[in-house]
Amino acid sequence: MALTPDDVARLAGLARIDLSDAELARLAPQLDVILQSVAQVTEVAGEDVPATSHALHLVNVFRTDVVTPSLPVEAVLAMAPHAEDNRFAVPRILGEEE
């Protein structure tokens, strides 16, 4: 079953993408080729082929957390233009009409 420009227009509408008639006509056969390729892959994969999300095994690249002492609050706020209650004080930008 080939994709029609109407099918592509429906998909574009769901994705909130505005496409011209020329773009719909050009994209319909291209998307149809993509769908046929995906269908071929699903035919090749048998029950003995495990489902994978990546071709290569992924490993965690995060380092372990090391607790270190932080700067004292006074040193951090020493150069701040304005501080209040041991925090940076900044101008309000949300709800200014209140």
SS3 call for 88? strand
- The amino acid that residue 60 corresponds to is N
pLDDT tens-digit series, residues 53-79: 787 888 888 888 899 999 999 999 998
Residues 6+ positions from 45 with CB-CB distance below 8 Å: 51
- Per-residue model confidence (pLDDT) at position 66: 92
Q: Within the chain, which residues score under 50 in pLDDT?
A: none
- Per-residue model confidence (pLDDT) at position 78: 93
DSSP 33-72: HHHHHHHHHHHH--TTS---S-SS-----PPPP---PPPP
- Per-residue model confidence (pLDDT) at position 43: 78
- Per-residue model confidence (pLDDT) at position 92: 82
CATH no. of 5-44: 1.10.20
